[in-house]
Amino acid sequence: MINSIEKEKELAAKEAIKFINNNQIVGLGTGSTAAYAIKGIGELVKNGLKIKAIPTSNRTKEMAILLNIPLIDINTIDSIDVSIDGADEFDSKLNLIKGGGGALLREKIVASLTKELIIIVDSTKKVDTLGKFKLPIEVIPFASNYVLKKVQFLNGEGKIRMLGDTEFITDEGNYIIDVDFGLISDPIYLSSKLNEIEGIVSHGLFIKLARKVIMGNNDTTISFESK
Ligand SMILES: O=C[C@H](O)[C@H](O)[C@H](O)COP(=O)(O)O
C-alpha cells in the first residue's frame, strides 16, 4: 500500500514537470509529493533547463539549493509562470485543503502569484466534500487562544499543533491551529469568514487557485482541469 501511494506521487510529479518550459519562473511546493517534483526539476536543470525558482518553505529551499536549482527573490517578480505543489485534499471544483506540513502561508502567496498552479496528489487525496482532513490555520502566537474561541462560533474544534512538548512553529514564526469543522459544505463561505478573524494570517482552504490537479492512480495519472 505504502509503496503504491509513493508510486502515485512520483507519477503525478513526473507528469507535472512536463509543463515547465525554459526561462520560466517556477514555484516549488512543499511536502512529500512536491519533493518528487523538485527532484525531477533538479534533473531537468542538470540537463540544461533554464528556470528561476521560488521555494514555498525553508525545507524546499534547502532541497533546491542541494539540487542546484537557481532561485529568485519573490519580492523582485510580478508573477510566477507555473507552480507545482501538493495538497491534503481536493474536491471536484479543485478547491483544496493544504497545510498538513505547515507551509500554507508561503504556499498560498506563491499560488496567488501563479498563472498556472498544478497540484500533484496520490489517489487518497480526492474527496467529495472537503473537511475530513482538519483545516490548518496559521495564527500569530499572541492570538492563538482568541482564534480557538472564534472558530468555535463557526462550529470548529481546534487544537494548536504540537511538535513533541512544544508548539510547532512555522517558517514565518507562527503557530498552526488544526481545526475540525466536520465536512465543509461551503468552502467559499468558510474561507471568507476565516479571513475576517483578526490574528489568522492564512488558512489551508485554497479556493479557485488550482488550474489543474494531476492525481496518480495505480500505474497511471488522471488530470482534472478547472472549468
Ligand atoms: O504544508 C504542506 C503542504 O500544503 C503540502 O503540500 C500538503 O500537506 C501535502 O503534503 P504531502 O504531499 O506530503 O501529502
Q: Indicate which atom in ligand 1 lies nearest the CA of residue 120.
A: 12
Question: Which of the following is catalytic: 107, 172, 196, 225?
Answer: 107
Distance 178 CA to ligand 1 centre (A): 14
102 lines ligand 1 (CB under 6 A): yes
Q: What pLDDT is stored for residue 227 in this prediction?
A: 77
Q: Does the annotation list 98 as a binding residue?
A: yes
φ, ψ of residue 150 to 5 degrees: the values are: -65, -40
Cβ–ligand 1 distance for 33 under 6 Å, the answer yes
**Given this model, what pLDDT does residue 186 score?**
98
Is the minimum distance from the CB of 125 to ligand 1 under 6 angstroms? Answer: no
Domains 2-127+207-220 and 135-203 share a fold: no
Q: What homologous superfamily is domain 135-203 in, according to CATH?
A: ACT domain (3.30.70.260)
ipTM for this model: 0.98
89 as an active site residue: the answer is no
Nearest CA to ligand 1 atom 6: 86
Residue 34 CB–ligand 1 contact under 6 Å = yes
- pTM tops 0.90, yes or no: yes
Between the CA of 83 and the centroid of ligand 1 the distance, in Å, is 14
Torsions phi, psi for 143 (to 5 deg): -100, 5
**Is residue 85 annotated as involved in ligand binding?**
yes
Instruction: Please report, for the chain, the start and end positions of each structural domain, with discontinuous segments joined by +.
Output: 2-127+207-220, 135-203
Q: Is any atom of ligand 1 closer than 6 Å to the C-beta of 151?
A: no
The atom of ligand 1 lying closest to the CA of 35 is: 12
Instruction: Write out the chain's pLDDT in tens, 227 residues.
Output: 558 999 999 999 999 999 999 999 999 999 999 999 999 999 999 999 999 999 999 999 999 999 999 999 999 999 999 999 999 999 999 999 999 999 999 999 999 999 999 999 999 999 999 999 999 999 999 999 999 999 999 999 999 999 999 999 999 999 999 999 999 999 999 999 999 999 999 999 999 999 999 999 999 999 999 87
Ligand 1 center from residue 32 Cα (angstroms): 7
The alpha carbon of 93 and the centre of ligand 1 are apart by a number of angstroms equal to 19
C-alpha pair distances (Å), 213 with each of 83, 119, 122:
12, 5, 10
SS (HEC) of the chain: CHHHHHHHHHHHHHHHHHHCCCCEEEEECCCHHHHHHHHHHHHHHHCCCCEEEEECCHHHHHHHHHCCCCECCHHHCCCEEEEEECCCEECCCCCEECCCCCCHHHHHHHHHHEEEEEEEECHHHECCCCCCCCEEEEECHHHHHHHHHHHHCCCCEEEECEECCEECCCCCCCEEEEEECCCCCCHHHHHHHHHCCCCEEEECEECCCCCEEEEEECCEEEEEECC
Q: Quote the pLDDT of residue 3.
A: 87
Q: Does domain 2-127+207-220 have CATH number 1.20.120.140?
A: no
Using a 6 Å cutoff on CB, does residue 87 contact ligand 1?
yes
b/e burial code for range 205-225 (CB count within 10 A of at least 16 → b): bbeebbbbbbbbeeeebeebe
| Residue 16 confidence (pLDDT) | 98
Ligand 1 atom nearest to 33, measured from its CA:
12
